[in-house]
């Protein structure tokens, strides 16, 4: 199986040597997204709420690049620097995955790039 590199025009530029996503067969493996504003390259201002919405905006931009949506996601991993933010993140997460939510893991980490409070990675299935 070959791998196809996915670079999304509407997502923030990668801040390291990684691709936005890689497609192998019918599966899309998206790199973890932090709340970087695609136009400025900076972490969005505000707290966990604003950061979580920005992460989902970035994930959606990557999926959109290959004509997918969050409905095509079957696994997510959430990284939080403080599990005390879990309830807020969970509420926002639920607003994006109202029915048939994907499998999910959530862990607390010591730190994230650029001082981000949250990072989310997804795996999606391209049934087309």
Backbone angles phi, psi at 34, to 5 degrees: -105, 170
120 flagged as catalytic: no
**Who contacts 21 (Cβ-Cβ below 8 Å, separation ≥6)?**
5, 6, 8, 28, 29, 30, 31, 62, 65, 66
Query: How far, in Å, CA of 59 to CA of 68, rounded?
Result: 10
Q: Catalytic residue among 61, 88, 92, 106, which?
A: 106
Residues in the chain: 128
Write out the catalytic residue numbers.
106
């Amino acid at each position: 199986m070959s791998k196809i590199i996915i670079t999304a025009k509407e997502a923030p530029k990668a801040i390291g040597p990684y691709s936005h996503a890689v497609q192998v067969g019918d599966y899309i493996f998206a790199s973890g997204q932090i709340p970087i504003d695609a136009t400025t390259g900076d972490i969005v201002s505000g707290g966990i709420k604003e950061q979580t919405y920005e992460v989902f905006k970035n994930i959606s931009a990557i999926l959109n690049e290959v004509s997918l949506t969050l409905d095509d996601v079957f696994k997510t991993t959430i990284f939080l620097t403080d599990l005390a933010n879990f309830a807020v993140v969970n509420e926002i997460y639920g607003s994006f995955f109202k029915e048939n939510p994907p499998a999910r893991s959530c862990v607390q980490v010591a730190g994230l790039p650029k001082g981000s409070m949250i990072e989310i990675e997804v795996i999606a299935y391209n049934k087309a």
